[in-house]
């Protein structure tokens, strides 16, 4: 039987959607509205710790938050959303990927579908490249690193082959790429000690950035510090370089240069979720949903968009960046606007104060720009861990992560595989419209 309470449907249970649902629970009485949250996973990825999960310094399960424990009175559906009619506010979804398509209509529709990795049509990238956007990606990357160590350890057919097996190329010198390069180097150096025919210096990490500096969102002194620290540890940083082709054992660069590497990790930007690209909703030139100041989608009635999939602007007219920090606050503020609308009160513009950014570089060092203050070295790394530990939902999970980090200082993890390959991740993604891999 159809509920007579207004129904609010939230598509996507990431930072934006999950926090919106939880805020609505706190603001609305059980008889006031029905809140339904849909996501293909019954957890959301705590992205700031995903790189650590993908490079072995954190158990993958500790970098996700269970949606069923995060929300309480919200009805959660683990479902693949396959189509959205924004005019009729009707969602078509499939339970557990292969069920029959089902429809759900609502009074308020919240689009919080996030983004995907931006994967340009570079020859060989779809076939050989890795990305880090989901928990499966993180586990597959860690498994790949261990697999390459195993192969290199057993390799007897010459130094060249061995060298390319344990050469990892990270593309993109922004936050994710820099963290992946830094953490991966630590992981490889530690793990290599367990492989008798390898010495830690056999493992190489190269970071490619097409601009003239890494971490362009931070001040120049912090970029320079990060570059110096990473280079000091043997990470090759090549600026002004672009990838032309990826082969099994080789990366070909624009201008003819070559790198003998078997693993390429693509961290160069995000693109709109494919589902968002197909919506009947106004989008900007990159394909993100354009919203009014109160986060309602332009030209649509009672349809709202938040997080990475939306363009929401602050009072100064500038679009908020695609970060967890902004997605979470948009989710909370949108919940208040929906409640205002239900109570026939005027909605308010979205106002977020940017707190800054922190990047971990591995080896207990980092860089941070917090409330305009620049910090580098151990303090920045410590801040990274403290801030994200405190931000992680759930006391139990916080304790587990803190304990794991502490134990890891003395007893590093064994390099064992969990059994997920890049091909399996890719095949899984092909079943749902989740990937940004170019056709
Ligand atoms: C490796 C990495 C590290 C990052 N580190 C930081 C950091 O340190 N600090 C920071 O502020 N930001 C960080 N970010 C950015 C941050 O994670 C995003 O900006 C934030 O997650 C956006 O929130 P969202 O809710 O819009 O999207 P998401 O958190 O991506 O949530 C979208 C949700 O929609 C679901 N979904 C999508 N399509 C479908 C579908 N068709 N059917 C069903 N469900 C679907 C997904 O499963 C997902 O749960 C990082 C990002 C990455 C990739």
Residue written as token pair 């110096």: 228
Which ranges constitute the DSSP H helices of 343-394? 378-391
Distance 115 CA to ligand 1 centre (A): 7
433 CA closest ligand 1 atom index: 41
Distance 436 CA to ligand 1 centre (A): 14
Note the pLDDT tens digit of each residue in 11-35.
999 999 999 999 999 999 878 999 9
Nearest CA to ligand 1 atom 50: 47
Whether the pLDDT of residue 430 is over 70: the answer is: no
DSSP 255-298: TS-EE--SEEEE-S-EEE-HHHHTSSS-B-TTSPEEB-TTSBBT
Distance 322 CA to ligand 1 centre (A): 9
* Contact predicate 177/206, CB 8 Å: no
Q: What angle do CA 173, 365, 149 make, to 5 degrees?
A: 70
Distance 157 CA to ligand 1 centre (A): 43
Which ranges constitute the DSSP H helices of 318-419? 324-342, 378-391, 395-410
Q: What angle do CA 172, 282, 87 make, to 5 degrees?
A: 130
User: What are the strands of the beta sheet with 243-246, ordered from one edge?
Assistant: 243-246, 251-253, 258-259
Here the tokens at position 103 are 């429809």
Distance 272 CA to ligand 1 centre (A): 11
**SS3 of 95-134:** ECCCCCCEEEECCEEEECCCEEECECCCCCHHHHEEECCC
Q: Give the whole-angstrom CA distance, residue 322 versus residue 51.
A: 17
270 CA closest ligand 1 atom index: 53
Find the radius of gyration of the CA atoms of the chain: 22
Note the pLDDT tens digit of each residue in 80-124.
999 999 999 999 999 976 679 999 999 999 999 999 999 999 999
CA distances from 427 to 17, 136, 150, 245, 250 (A): 26, 11, 24, 22, 23
Note the pLDDT tens digit of each residue in 390-423.
999 989 989 999 998 888 888 777 766 666 666 5
Pocket test for ligand 1, best of 324, 370, 432 (most atoms within 8 A of CB): 324
Nearest residue to 282 via CA among 87, 432, 107: 87
331 CA closest ligand 1 atom index: 25
39 CA closest ligand 1 atom index: 44
Q: Give the whole-angstrom CA distance, residue 271 versus residue 283.
A: 13
Nearest CA to ligand 1 atom 30: 114
Pocket test for ligand 1, best of 113, 132, 181 (most atoms within 8 A of CB): 113
Pocket of ligand 1 (CB under 6 A): 12-17, 38-41, 44, 47-48, 50-51, 80-81, 112-114, 132-133, 176, 273, 275, 307-309, 322-325, 327, 433-434
pLDDT band at 57 (very low <50, low <70, confident <90, very high): confident
Q: Give the whole-angstrom CA distance, residue 270 versus residue 277.
A: 13
Whether the pLDDT of residue 431 is over 50: the answer is: no
Q: Give the whole-angstrom CA distance, residue 46 versus residue 51.
A: 10
CB-neighbour burial class of residue 224 (10 A; exposed 0-12, middle 13-18, buried 19+):
middle
357 CA closest ligand 1 atom index: 9
Query: What's CA 118's distance to the chain center, in Å?
Result: 12
322 CA closest ligand 1 atom index: 19
Residue 394's contacts (CB-CB under 8 Å, 6 or more residues apart) are 65, 69, 70
Provide mean pLDDT across the span 60-65: 90
Pairing assessment for the beta strands 167-171 and 373-377 based on DSSP bridges: unpaired
What is the structure's pLDDT at 3? Answer: 52
Q: Give the whole-angstrom CA distance, residue 367 versus residue 353.
A: 20
Here the tokens at position 257 are 């240069």
CB-neighbour burial class of residue 371 (10 A; exposed 0-12, middle 13-18, buried 19+):
exposed
Q: How many CB atoms lie within 10 A of CB 196?
A: 7
Distance 241 CA to ligand 1 centre (A): 28
113 CA closest ligand 1 atom index: 34
* Contact predicate 114/134, CB 8 Å: no
Q: Give the whole-angstrom CA distance, residue 345 versus residue 322.
A: 29
Note the pLDDT tens digit of each residue in 115-132.
999 999 999 999 999 999
pLDDT band at 243 (very low <50, low <70, confident <90, very high): very high
* E strands in 1-40: 7-11, 34-39
Distance 14 CA to ligand 1 centre (A): 6
Nearest CA to ligand 1 atom 48: 14
Distance 154 CA to ligand 1 centre (A): 38
Strand partners, 316: none
Q: Give the whole-angstrom CA distance, residue 152 versus residue 200.
A: 12
Residue 102's contacts (CB-CB under 8 Å, 6 or more residues apart) are 79, 92, 93, 94, 95
Note the pLDDT tens digit of each residue in 339-364.
999 999 999 999 999 999 999 999 99
Distance 192 CA to ligand 1 centre (A): 32
The DSSP 8-state label assigned to residue 34 in this structure reads E
Note the pLDDT tens digit of each residue in 212-232.
999 999 999 999 999 999 999
Nearest CA to ligand 1 atom 15: 323
């Amino acid at each position: 039987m159809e509920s007579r309470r207004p129904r609010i449907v939230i598509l996507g249970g990431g930072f934006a959607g999950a926090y919106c649902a939880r805020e609505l629970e706190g603001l609305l009485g059980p008889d006031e509205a029905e809140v339904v949250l849909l996501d293909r996973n019954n957890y959301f990825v705590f992205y700031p710790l995903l790189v650590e999960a993908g490079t072995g310094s954190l158990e993958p399960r500790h970098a996700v938050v269970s949606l069923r424990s995060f929300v309480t009175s919200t009805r959660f559906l683990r479902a693949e959303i396959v189509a959205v009619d924004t005019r009729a506010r009707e969602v078509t979804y499939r339970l557990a990927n292969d069920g029959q398509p089902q429809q759900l209509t609502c009074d308020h529709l919240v689009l919080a579908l996030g983004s995907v990795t931006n994967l340009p049509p570079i020859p060989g990238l779809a076939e050989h490249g890795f990305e880090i956007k989901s928990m499966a990606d993180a586990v597959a990357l860690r498994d790949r690193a261990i697999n390459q160590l195993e192969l290199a350890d057993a390799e007897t057919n010459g130094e060249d082959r061995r060298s390319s097996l344990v050469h990892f190329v990270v593309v993109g010198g922004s936050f994710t790429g820099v963290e992946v390069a830094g953490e991966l180097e630590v992981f490889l150096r530690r793990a290599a000690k367990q492989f008798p025919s390898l010495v830690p210096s056999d493992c190489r990490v190269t970071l490619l950035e097409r601009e003239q500096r890494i971490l362009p969102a931070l001040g120049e002194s912090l970029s320079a510090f990060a570059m110096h620290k990473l280079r000091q540890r043997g990470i090759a940083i090549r600026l002004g370089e672009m990838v032309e082709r990826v082969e099994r054992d080789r990366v070909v660069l624009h201008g003819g240069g070559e790198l003998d590497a078997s693993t390429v990790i693509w961290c160069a930007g995000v693109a709109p979720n494919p589902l968002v690209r197909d919506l009947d909703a106004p989008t900007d030139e990159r394909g993100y949903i354009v919203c009014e100041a109160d986060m309602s989608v332009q030209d649509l009635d009672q349809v709202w968009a938040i997080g990475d999939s939306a363009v929401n602007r602050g009072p100064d007219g500038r679009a908020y960046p695609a970060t967890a920090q902004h997605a979470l606050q948009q989710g909370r503020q949108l919940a208040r606007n929906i409640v205002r609308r239900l109570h026939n009160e005027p909605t308010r513009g979205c106002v977020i104060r940017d707190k800054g950014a922190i990047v971990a570089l591995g080896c207990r060092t980092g860089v941070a720009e917090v409330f305009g203050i620049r910090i580098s070295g151990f303090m920045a790394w410590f801040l990274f861990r403290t801030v994200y530990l405190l931000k992680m939902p759930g006391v139990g999970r916080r304790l587990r992560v803190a304990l794991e980090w502490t134990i890891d200082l003395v007893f590093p993890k064994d390099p064992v595989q969990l059994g997920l390959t890049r091909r399996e991740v890719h095949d899984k993604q092909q079943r749902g419209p989740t990937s940004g891999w170019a056709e």
